[in-house]
């Protein structure tokens, strides 16, 4: 997990629309997938320009964003 900057919009219904994320002052546009809310905060799935997927977490207790890379999951090939 890493702290990052997030450029996003908050919709009236509480949903988040992430436009880009920043690491060390460098910004990258992202595609956004689903999002959900739990006891930790708001989770948002994103896809980076290199097709890597990641989870962003807006922590409820500190209102800080965390970046959580996701490992690709490959389906088993059934014979």
Average confidence (pLDDT) over 1-11: 85
Range of the domain at 21: 2-69
Tens digit of each residue's pLDDT (9 = 90 or more) over 13-62: 989 999 999 988 899 999 999 999 999 999 999 999 888 899 999 999 99
Rounded to a whole number of angstroms, the distance between the first and last alpha carbons of the chain is 37
Residue-wise over 32-48: b if at least 16 C-beta within 10 A, else e? eeebeeeeebbbbbbee
Taking residue 30's Cβ as centre, other Cβ atoms within 10 Å add up to 22
Location of structure tokens 């999002």: 35
Residue 55 in any domain: the answer is yes
Residue 78 in any domain: the answer is no
Residue 13 in any domain: the answer is yes
The pLDDT, as a whole number, for residue 25 is: 82
Residue 76 in any domain: the answer is no
The β-bridge relationship of strands 31-38 and 26-29 is unpaired
Residue 30 in any domain: the answer is yes
Q: How many domains does the chain have?
A: 1
């Amino acid at each position: 997990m890493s702290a990052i900057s997030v450029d996003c919009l908050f919709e009236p219904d509480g949903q988040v629309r992430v436009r880009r994320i920043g690491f060390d002052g460098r910004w990258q546009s992202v595609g956004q997938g689903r999002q959900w809310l739990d006891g930790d905060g708001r989770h948002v799935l994103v896809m980076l320009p290199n097709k890597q997927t990641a989870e962003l977490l807006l922590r409820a207790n500190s209102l800080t964003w965390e970046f959580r890379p996701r490992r690709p999951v490959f389906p088993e090939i059934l014979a």
